[in-house]
């Protein structure tokens, strides 16, 4: 089964992989994680804009009900369903981002990990964990199946 005191085999550096390579892959992974967050914000932008556009239906109805036909007409024709940038609704921006940038970035990062580290993800973080954890402490075990691992305790368990 191997050494339960260190990382599992999937998180051990393959023979011949240099410190510089591990650091570079860690940096590439961190950049991808940042892109994942940016993509999440893009989806938030997409959903929030869509929600606002749907709420305009109610605003138009309320303006008409209050006798403000001209304002209802302006909202309906000038804002409701409007492109957010020329020729694009937000779903088209998301699609363009995914196809032009996100998928390419994700694929490149995975190819780099596969070719430079035998497909082993998060080597940088696994080595950082090893360097920072307190040996023989039940809450600092190397992995879930390590001897001495205990169940979580506290107010949220």
Please write the tens of the pLDDT for every residue from 11-38.
899 999 999 999 999 999 999 999 999 9
Share of the chain above pLDDT 90, in %: 73
Q: Which residues contact 112 (CB under 8 A, 6 or more apart)?
A: 25, 28
Describe the chain by its helix, strand, coil percentages, rounded to 5. 65, 0, 35
pLDDT value at 157 more than 70: no
Ordered by start, the domain boundaries in the chain are 18-132
Q: Are 72 and 64 in contact (CB under 8 A)?
A: yes
Copy the structure tokens of residue 144. 């879930």
80-89, 114-123, 135-144: the lowest-pLDDT one: 135-144
pLDDT value at 83 more than 80: yes
Distance CA 56, CA 19 (A): 56
pTM for this one? 0.80
pLDDT at 44: 98
Q: Which long-range contacts (CB under 8 A, 24 or more apart) does 37-46 make?
A: 39/97, 39/98, 39/102, 42/93, 42/94, 42/97, 43/94, 45/90, 45/93, 46/90, 46/91, 46/93, 46/94
């Amino acid at each position: 089964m191997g050494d339960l005191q260190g990382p599992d085999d999937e998180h051990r550096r393959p023979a011949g992989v240099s410190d510089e390579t591990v650091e570079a892959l860690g940096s590439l992974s961190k950049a991808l994680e940042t892109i994942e967050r940016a993509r999440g914000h893009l989806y938030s932008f997409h959903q929030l804009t869509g929600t606002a556009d749907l709420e305009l239906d109610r605003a138009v109805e309320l303006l008409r009900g209050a006798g403000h036909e001209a304002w209802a007409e302006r909202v309906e024709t000038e804002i409701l369903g409007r492109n957010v940038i020329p020729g694009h609704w937000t779903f088209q921006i998301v699609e363009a981002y995914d196809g032009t940038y996100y998928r390419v970035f994700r694929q490149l990062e995975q190819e780099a990990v596969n070719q430079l580290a035998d497909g082993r993800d998060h080597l940088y973080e696994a080595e950082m964990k090893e360097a920072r954890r307190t040996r023989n402490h039940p809450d600092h075990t190397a992995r879930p199946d390590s001897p001495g691992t205990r169940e979580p305790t506290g107010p949220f368990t």
